[in-house]
Structure 1
């Protein structure tokens, strides 16, 4: 769909969804465990908010009709497990594409409890364990802010990316480094 000037209504929504499909995002599995049960799902809506304050803060966006958001709010904790480029199969399991139900999805992977009790998937790029700081419902989604309690994993490698409605790999030039100014140099 070409993007000229779209102002309102269904055309704007459709153009927004199409445009957002072109925005690359890392793929993560968000998990929680506690009184509301062990639940996890695949997300691409995760970002850092602030590194300053008492603890760093990140946010996740979850559809308000899904069971993960409700479980996170009741459990008070969650873990963001950032997947590597070779872990699309994990994304598919937690997206429900292999018909694994909750909590059987966890039987398909190796995990361990994080310091906050949330399941941390082993072998991922990095894991961010968080306590719920606050949440806000915006349209169809709950935006949940998490205060970081633990970072672990950090196996290195490139993250799994989702763009243009498909998994992708980052193409990173190996012959260049990035200076502190943010400019690539040979």
Structure 2
């Protein structure tokens, strides 16, 4: 095996920035994580979501939330959340929940595309897929909470192209 084609980050690039630059090369699905309960309703845009296991009592997935996110304490207190996989046509809602449009979260769920799912959590209709979850396990690493959710309900759409985030830009599959 040859390593001649691999390039190390230039020495002048700090390790954190080199890591962020390398991670930006990944192509990740764009999701809205929403929560509701005694701590209030809120949501945020994430690209750090993945399945954990389909087997066992309930399927599980995980999300990662920064400890400084306004959503994190609400989600942890509420003990439940939804994950909504966005279509390529939902870049505007991704920007809104990512905080790129300014303002606060009040009124974000007034859009008629938001509905209450089986467990009472906000789910986006249509999303390519939506999951309603209860918090199953949490862990804290560095600056982020890793939250594993036990899936309580699943909704899917049979059409659409996922919204992808890669190289710090939105993209879609052709």
TM-score (norm 1): 0.84
Q: 1:165 aligns with which of 157, 165, 168?
A: 168
Mapped to 2, the partners of 1:3 and 1:66 lie a distance apart of: 35
1:68 aligns with 2:71: yes
Residue of structure 1 equivalent to 2:16: 13
Q: How does 1:63-142 map to 2 (within 5 A)?
A: 63-142=66-145
Change (3 A) 1:169 1:34: same
> How far did 1:109 drift?
5.0
Mapped to 1, the partners of 2:86 and 2:158 lie a distance apart of: 10
> How far did 1:155 drift?
3.9
Mapped to 1, the partners of 2:8 and 2:165 lie a distance apart of: 26
TM-score (norm 2): 0.90
Mapped to 2, the partners of 1:107 and 1:101 lie a distance apart of: 13
Give the CA RMSD over aligned residues.
Answer: 2.1
The size of the alignment, in residue pairs, is: 170
Mapped to 1, the partners of 2:111 and 2:102 lie a distance apart of: 11
Mapped to 2, the partners of 1:169 and 1:52 lie a distance apart of: 30
Structure 1: stretches of 5+ with no match in the other structure: 172-186
Mapped to 2, the partners of 1:151 and 1:103 lie a distance apart of: 26
Mapped to 1, the partners of 2:78 and 2:15 lie a distance apart of: 37
Instruction: Write the deviation string for residues 100-123 of structure 1: whole angstroms up to 9, x where unpaired.
Output: 412321124521112222100111
- Contact 1:129/1:148 (8 A) holds in 2: yes
